[in-house]
Amino acid sequence: MISDLQQVFSANAKSMQKSVIRELLKLTRRPEVISFAGGLPDPAAFPVDQVAEITADVLRRDGALALQYSPTEGDPRLKEELIAHHEREDGIHLSPENILITVASQQGLDLVSKIFIDPGDPVIVGLPSYVGGLGAFRNYGADMIGVSLDDSGMRMDLLERELERLRERGKKPKFIYVVPDFQNPAGITMSEERRLRLISLARRYDVLILEDSPYKELRYEGEPQTSLFALDGAGQVIGLHTFSKILFPGMRLGWAIADEAIIQKLVIAKQSTDLCTPAFTQAIVAEFASRGLLNEVIENVKSIYREKRELMLAALDEHMPDLPGLSWTRPEGGLFLWVRLPEHMDADELFYEAIEQNVAFVIGAAFHCDGSGTNTMRLNFSFPTKDDIVEGVKRLARVIAEHDAKLKEGADVVISP
């Protein structure tokens, strides 16, 4: 090993930070811990037999192509399936030039950051926001500006204030990052009024919108909202999508949709990252979709998660202590709900007490670019079993009640490292 490795790392690498979530998740892996911490799909929903059959068919029929390098832009057959998917979902008319197939949406976040962010560039994010998005923007040196959400999504009055403040300083954010449907982490969906206002503000201040949309198809109740990309229709929005939550994450397959000029730049950025998304996985998923199986799987996933969401909400209603300021979101879809603890409670302290009681969650501060949100936590309901959802909520409720009692007594709270 060379003498001073740390000095050899680039400024970029030096500023990279470990993900708080990934570190905390290590603590939740003991088998006795019921974890609401991860964001994993339920493996019961994976169409293993169908994938096995299709994989064999793809290899037999198209093996030479499927095992070869492929165009950076993506498999034309998969693109055709995605064009049809967006047409059905949102009435969006895309051409193949508007699509880049990515190694799931995390790569989309990285590539978008790579082509837009110079160190110090402002980027607007929600308070809270998906932690992997924050990590990608941070790695390219973004100056992240947080805008709070309420039950209808990002607060447009606050967004306008930030945009105005930046304009007065002669600055313009590179983009506004939003997860408008069943947001990770808060489970909140942006109302149509907010969507329209967001687009109008983006136009007025001449800023791009980055719409990250892994969960839109997973709606369990209520009316679907039109995507920002469809509402805009004028190239102001970049959309990131993924098969991770609607199908399975193991193939690492997603796609970006945008104006052709942006896609072309993303293609160049991707070439130096990985040349192309694997032809093999693209061929399998294209075949899967062309057999009409995608919707079948999505319906199955929805029925599983709908039930689990109901169960978690019912368990929270039944077991959570009645404390002023303790509340949680009732997401209409997605994988997560968001708990707000009484103001004086610190989710970080609670986390270690919860681990001792064999239940885990993710602390909300990890999703806040400014370190706020210390009295919030994210709960996942897609991965734990139904029995674990009920038992885990009981344990969590007990931990919160005991923590509150301790605080009231003024007793010292034991914080394990």
Ligand X SMILES: Cc1ncc(COP(=O)(O)O)c(C=O)c1O
In the range 372-391, which residues lie near ligand X by CB under 6 A?
none
Determine the 3-state secondary structure of 272 from DSSP.
helix
Q: What residues pair up with 175 in beta bridges, in sequence order?
A: 208
Candidates 35, 105, 139, 376: give the one binding ligand X (CB under 6 A). 105
Give least dist CB 102 to ligand X, A.
8
Using CB under 6 A, which residues numbered 184 to 223 contact ligand X?
184, 212, 214
Reference 102, options 275, 233, 234; nearest CA is: 275
User: CB 55 → ligand X: shortest distance, Å?
Assistant: 20
- Binds ligand X (CB under 6 A): choice among 122, 135, 153, 249: 249
Number of Cβ atoms within 10 Å of the Cβ of 303: 11
Structure-token match 């709070």, residue found = 148
Rounded Cα gap, residues 38 and 249, in angstroms: 13
Q: Kindly state the smallest distance separating residue 383's Cβ from ligand X, in Å.
A: 12
SS3 236: coil
Contact 238, 210 (CB under 8 A): yes
Among 244, 281, 282, 382, binds ligand X (CB under 6 A): 244
How far apart are CB 244 and ligand X at their closest, in Å? 3
User: Does position 294 bind ligand X by CB under 6 A?
Assistant: no
Q: From start to end of 173-324, where are the E strands?
A: 175-178, 208-212, 237-242, 254-257
Q: Which of 35, 98, 106, 236 binds ligand X (CB under 6 A)?
A: 106
Residue 263 CA: distances (Å) to CA of 75, 98, 107, 228, 229: 15, 6, 14, 18, 14
Q: Which residue has the tokens 């990515």?
A: 102
Per-residue interface string for the shown chain with ligand X, residues 139-178, x marking contact by CB under 6 A: ----------------------------------------
Q: Which stretch binds ligand X (CB under 6 A): 102-110, 169-177, 272-280, 302-310?
A: 102-110
Q: Which of 41, 132, 187, 331 binds ligand X (CB under 6 A)?
A: 132
Gap between the Cα atoms of 36 and 253, Å rounded:
25
Q: Is residue 130 close enough to count as binding ligand X by CB under 6 A? A: yes
Cβ closest to ligand X, residue 25 vs residue 59? 25
Amino acid at 328: W
Q: Which residues bind ligand X (CB under 6 A)?
A: 39, 104-106, 130, 132, 179, 184, 212, 214, 242, 244, 249, 254
